Chains A and B, each alone.
Chain A
C-alpha cells in the first residue's frame, strides 16, 4: 500500500519539504533550550525532550532528548487538553510535573504552548526538561511520591500572556536552588516560544491545509514502513524473562520482568501484564512509560531511522499494559528512579524476538544510567547537588557486528557525560580514573561492547547516592554468545575498598579521601565465541579489550609471546571444546 496515493492531496515534494521544516522546528527548540539552560543535566546530559503535537496531542515531531520519553510528552499534552478543553487561549502556557501524567519523576517539568493560525488552534509545542532539584529528600530512599518534592498538577503557568506569579512563588520556595530552577524555566519557555514561532512561519509559508495534510501523510509513511517491516517477522508468540536486582528497600528480592510478544501479519502486540507489580522503592514509572517501553522497542526494530518521530509508526503496535505494574504504577508509588527498569523491559522484548528476527535484534546492554548523585558543600562554600555521569556502558553484539563500548543506555540518546576538567572545577572531587573494563564485553563470535570504570575521590565531605541495578542479571548474550559483566559499585571508606549486596548506595557519607568506584556492565556477545576469527581475538588482546586468559578460556585462542595467534594450540583448544 502506498501511503501517498491513498489520501494525499499534498504534492509529495511539498511533503518532503515540510518534513525538513518540522525537523528544523524541533531542532531549534532543542538547541535554544540547551544553549540557555542553567543545569548540567539539561545542557550537557540533554535530559529533556521537545516536541510538536497536533491539536489533539498526537506526536508530529520529537527532538531528542530522551528516547524513552517518546510517549510521555504526548500523553501530557493530551492530559492538558482533557483538563482545559475549550479554556485554552492564545498566550496561555500550561504546566505540570505530575509524575503519573508524565510517567516519570517530579523533576520533569513540562510546559506546553498552543499554536494558532488565524485564530484557530492548530498545534502545540511542548518542552519537558529535568530540573536539578524539585524539593523533597535530596538523597536516600523514598517510599511515596510526597517525599520526592513539590507536585504541580495540570495548571496554567501563563494566562493570555500574564504569568501566574503565585505559582512561581510557590515553586521557588519549594526548591533548593530557585535561581537555577527559574533559569531552567526561562530556557524551557524560550524553547516552546521559538517552536511556536517557527511552526507558525511554516504554516504561513506553505498554507495550513498543506502543512497539516503533510503531517498526516508523514504519519502514514511511517506506518507503511512499520507495517512492511513487521510483516517480515514470522508470525508467532515470543516470550522472554529477566529480572532486576531489587527495589532498594527489600535488599536481594529480585523483581521479575516478563514479556510476551505476538506477531500476526503486519501487526504486533506487546503484552506487559506479567512485568512485576509496582514496588515499594522508587523504581516505579507511570503507564505512559510502560507504553513507551513497547514503542521504543518497536521503533528500534521497525522504523529506527525514520524521522520525524511521529505516532504513525505505532499504529501497527498494540500494547497490553494494565495499571499497577512497576512500569504502570499508580499514586502514591515513589517514582524518583523511574528510568532504571524500563530499559530492561525493552532489552527483554529484543530477547523475546531474537529467535524470530536474529539479524535485527541486539544482545543485552548494561541497561542503566550508571550515574551517581552527590550533594554537600562545594569549594565556594555553597550547597551543591549534582550528577556525575552517565558513565556509559557496553552495548550488545549483533549477528553481524561487535557491540559498541561505553555509550549511554537506551533510556538516553544524545546524552553526554560531564568532562572531568569541568566537574573538578565545580565540585570537590578528584576523578582518579575513567577507563575501559577489560573482559567486560560478553564473549561471542561478535563481542559485546566494553563497560567502563570510574573512580572518584572526595576532596571534602559530601553525601553520595547511586541507584544502579542489573548487577545480578548481567547483559545476556544471544545465539550462544556469553553475558557481559554486570554493573557494580565499590566504596573506599577509611582506605578500605568494600562492596555490598547490590550496586546501590543511599545517602552514603564520604569523608575527604574516601572514594567510590562505579563499574558499568559490558554488552552481551552474539554467537559462539569459538567461531570468532582467532586474529580478531589476538587484536582484542593486543588492544587490551580481552585478556590473555579470557582469549584462551572463553574464545579458545592461544597466543604466542609476540601476540600472534598460536595456530596449533588454538586448533587444539577449539577442537577440545567440541568434545
Chain B
C-alpha cells in the first residue's frame, strides 16, 4: 500500500498542535490538544485523535518540540561531566567575564550546567595551527573515565582546545569514555561546532550532553509509540535552522532542536510567501508569554551562527547555526504595572496559565495584555476559544483600575489602550531586532503574523514599523506545525579557514567544500529522500575586522573562481548590514559553510472557494462596540473566518474570529481573503 499522509506535530508549553496533509485526498487536517507534560507522547496521540489521522497511514512524521530548550531552562537534565584540555577546567565557569548589568551590584552570571567537581582535565594540547604540542595521555583519560563511573555520571561532554583544527584527540577521548561507560551519553565538541571560541564550544557541548539523555529517551518513546501504531515511514525532527534531520541524529545532536517550534513557523511563513511571490517578509509569532520575530530575505530565512539562551546576562551560548529569531517577553499574559518614578511597564513577567490574566477568573488580580484586549472589546467574553472558556470582564476592569488607571490618573480605557500600545512597541523591538539591527528596513517587508495572540495586534505592530501589508495565514493557531510540512532535510557544515581572499587557493577551498558535500550527501542518502541541493557560503571580513559577514557563493561564482565577484558580494552585504563598506580594503575568509538539503515535496496550498467579493450574510456573527484610539468605541462587525470565501473584502474597523485567534482590523485597514485562504491586510496610513 502506498502511504500518502504526512503528519507534523509541534509541542508547545500549553498546546500540542498537529497539521497533516494527505497527498492523495489533497486534504489538510489540524488538531489541537493540551500538552501532557508528564508524558508528552500522550498529547501527540490526543491531537492525532482530534484530527482523525492514523500514523499507519503516514509515510512521514515531522516533529518540533520544546523539550530540549525546556530541559535547559528548567535545569532538569542529566548528571553531566565535562572533560577539557589540561589548564582549562574552569573556562566553562569563567566564561567571557562580561557584566552587562553594569551598575547593578547584585548582578548575576551564567551558571554552568555541570558542577566544578564534575569537570575534569585531560592531559593533551594542540596549537592553533593544529599541530600536537602535547600528545594525549590515554592512561589518564581512562582513570578519569573510571572516576566518572564511580561518581554516577550519566552524560559526558568533551571539549579540547583547537579541536576544530583536528578532532582526533576528541575522538579518541570519546572512544575511551564509551568503553568505560557504555551506557552514558557521550558527545564531543567537534561534532557540533568546528569554529574557534572555547567557552562557546564548551557551553554548546555541555548543553548537548545535559539535555541528551532526556531528549534521546523522548525520541525513543515517540519512536516506540509510532511503532505500536504501525507507523512505517521516516521520523524527522525540526532543527533550529528550520531544516529536518532524522530522529537518529536528533538523539545525538540534541541542541540542534532548541528552537524547533519557532523555526517551524518561519518555514511556514517562507512557504506562504513563496506561493504569493513575496521574497521578503517578517515572520511574527505571539503566544502567551513571548513574541518572536524571524525574517525572510530573498526568499530565505536569515540564520545566525550562534545564539544566547536564557537572558543576556546569564545566557548560555550555543554555537550552532540557528534561525535568527529575536524574542521579547511580551505575550497575552504579560503583566502591566506602574514602577517607581511613575513609569508604566508591560512584561516581561507573565501571569502564565495559573493564575493567568485577571479575566480568566482563576485568582489573578494583576492586569495583563489579555485583560486590556477584553476591556476594549477586541476579545469577547463569550467567544474565547470558541466559547469553551468564558472570561470575566468585571475582574479585568477592576485589575486595570486599581493596578494602572488609579495610580496614573487615567480612566480604565486609557489604561487598557496604553498597555496595548506599550506591548506593541516592545514587540516591534523584536521585529527591529531582526530587521533594523541587521540593516534591513522593516517598512519594506510584508509581515506574516500567527500564534494565538498575534492577529490581535498585527495591525498596530505594522503601523509602528511602517509595514503596509500583513498576512494572517490560514489557521494561525496551528501554524508552527503547519510550517513543518514545508521543511526539507538539512545538514549544515562549517570549517574555519583564515585566508586572504586575494590569495586563497581555490583547490583548498574546493577540497573543504567537497568534504562537507560528501558528508551531507551521505547523511541524506541514509533517508528515503533522493533530491539533494547544495548551498555554499563563506564568512568574510575586512582584514583586521573580527566579526564576519556570511555571503552565499552561487555555483557560478564558485565554479568560475571569480574572486572579484565574491569580493563584490561581500562589499554589498557589508553595505546593506552596516551602511558602510570599504571596497579598497583587503578581505579575508574566516570560514566556509555548506548546507546540504534533502529536498522534499511540499504540500500544495489548496484553493479556497471563490466568494462574491463581500462576506456572505451568515459570515457576520455580530456587531458590537470595540475601542480604537482614533474613534473611541464604535459599532464593529465581527466575522466568522470559516465562513469567509476567496475574494471577500472587509473594511476596518472589523474583527475576524476563529477558534484560537481573533484578527483586529483597525479603522483605515482593509483586508481581502486570498485564493489560499490567507487574510491579506492593507494597513491604513493613519495612526
Contacts and interface: CB of A to CB of B under 8 A. Distances in A.
Interface of A: 2-5, 11-13, 15-17, 19-21, 24, 27-28, 31-32, 34-40, 43-44, 46, 64, 67, 179-180, 183, 186, 189-190, 193-194, 198, 220-222, 224-225, 228, 296, 299-301, 303-306, 309, 350, 360-362, 390-392, 398, 401, 404-408, 412-417, 419-422, 424-425, 430-436, 452, 455, 542-545
Interface string B575-599: 0011110100100000000000000
A421 B115 contact: no
Interface of B: 87-91, 93-109, 115-117, 127-128, 133, 161-162, 164, 196-200, 340-345, 408-410, 417-418, 421-422, 425-426, 429, 432, 436-437, 498, 542-547, 574, 577-580, 582, 585
Given A305-B103, A392-B97, A37 B545 contact: yes
A406 B97 contact: yes
B109 A37 contact: no
Contact of A20 (B200, B426, B574): B426
B341 A417 contact: no
Contacts of B585: 179, 183
A31 B435 CA distance: 13
B582 to A, nearest CB: 7
B391 to A, nearest CB: 24
A135 B582 CA distance: 24
A420 B96 contact: no
B578 A36 contact: yes
A92 B103 CA distance: 33
A414 B198 contact: no
Nearest to A303: B103
Contacts of A431: 87
Contacts of A222: 341
14 contacts: A20-B425, A32-B578, A35-B578, A36-B547, A228-B341, A296-B103, A304-B103, A361-B105, A362-B105, A404-B108, A417-B94, A420-B88, A421-B196, A432-B87
Contact of A3 (B342, B436, B579): B342
Chain A to chain B: the 3 pairs with minimum beta-carbon distance, closest first: A413-B102, A392-B97, A221-B341
Contacts of B117: 542-544
A360 B103 CA distance: 12
Contacts of A19: 343
B103 A67 contact: yes
B128 to A, nearest CB: 4
Given A38-B545, A421-B161, A228 B88 contact: no
Contact of A415 (B99, B161, B197): B99
Given A305-B103, A435-B88, A417 B97 contact: yes
A292 to B, nearest CB: 12
Nearest to B439: A32
B437 to A, nearest CB: 6
Contact of B104 (A198, A305, A420): A305
Report which residue of A13, A40, A452, A545 has the largest number of chain B beta carbons within 10 angstroms of its beta carbon.
A13
B498 A425 contact: yes
Given A16-B422, A300-B104, A419-B197, A190 B580 contact: yes
Report which residue of A194, A408, A434 has the largest number of chain B beta carbons within 10 angstroms of its beta carbon.
A434
B663 to A, nearest CB: 24
A304 B105 contact: yes
Contacts of A12: 342-344, 408, 410, 418
A226 to B, nearest CB: 9
A543 B429 CA distance: 41
Contacts of B133: 430
A543 B115 contact: yes
Given A300-B105, A361-B105, A225 B340 contact: yes
B98 A408 contact: yes
A34 B548 CA distance: 11
A543 B89 CA distance: 12
Contacts of B162: 421, 424
B116 A544 contact: yes
B107 A404 contact: yes
A407 B580 contact: no
A545 B577 CA distance: 45
A406 B93 contact: yes
A36 B575 CA distance: 11
Nearest to B408: A12
B546 A37 contact: yes
A193 B580 CA distance: 10
Given A186-B580, A452-B94, A424 B127 contact: yes
Contacts of B436: 24, 28, 198
Contacts of A433: 87-88
Contacts of B342: 2-5, 12, 221, 224
Report which residue of A43, A186, A193, A401 has the largest number of chain B beta carbons within 10 angstroms of its beta carbon.
A186
A64 B89 contact: no
Contacts of A20: 425-426, 429
Given A67-B102, A401-B106, A407 B409 contact: no
Nearest to B133: A430
Nearest to A43: B546
B418 A414 contact: no
Contacts of B341: 3, 220-222, 224-225, 228, 306
Contacts of A419: 196-200
Given A408-B97, A420-B198, A24 B432 contact: yes
Nearest to A404: B109
Given A17-B422, A37-B546, A304-B101, 4 more contacts: A28-B436, A190-B579, A416-B97, A417-B97
A455 B90 CA distance: 13
A398 B582 contact: no
Report which residue of A309, A391, A405, A420 has the largest number of chain B beta carbons within 10 angstroms of its beta carbon.
A420
Nearest to B424: A17
Contact of A413 (B100, B343, B344, B544): B100
Given A404-B107, A434-B90, A452-B90, A15 B343 contact: yes
B152 to A, nearest CB: 15
A401 to B, nearest CB: 7
Contacts of B161: 420-421
A17 B421 contact: yes
A417 B408 CA distance: 45
Given A16-B345, A300-B104, A35 B87 contact: no
B340 A39 contact: no
A27 B438 CA distance: 12
Contacts of A27: 437
A224 B342 CA distance: 9
Contacts of A543: 115-117
A316 to B, nearest CB: 13
Nearest to B409: A5
Nearest to B346: A16
A350 B128 CA distance: 44
Contact of B93 (A40, A301, A405): A405
A189 B409 CA distance: 44
A24 B433 CA distance: 9
B343 A221 contact: yes
A99 B343 CA distance: 38
A398 B106 contact: yes
A13 B127 CA distance: 56
A553 B96 CA distance: 33
A109 B206 CA distance: 41
Contacts of B104: 300, 304-305
A544 B117 CA distance: 7
B93 A434 contact: no
Report which residue of A28, A224, A309, A417 has the largest number of chain B beta carbons within 10 angstroms of its beta carbon.
A417
Given A4-B408, A36-B580, A413 B98 contact: yes
A434 B545 contact: no
A430 B547 contact: no
Contact of A17 (B99, B164, B425): B425
Contacts of A189: 580
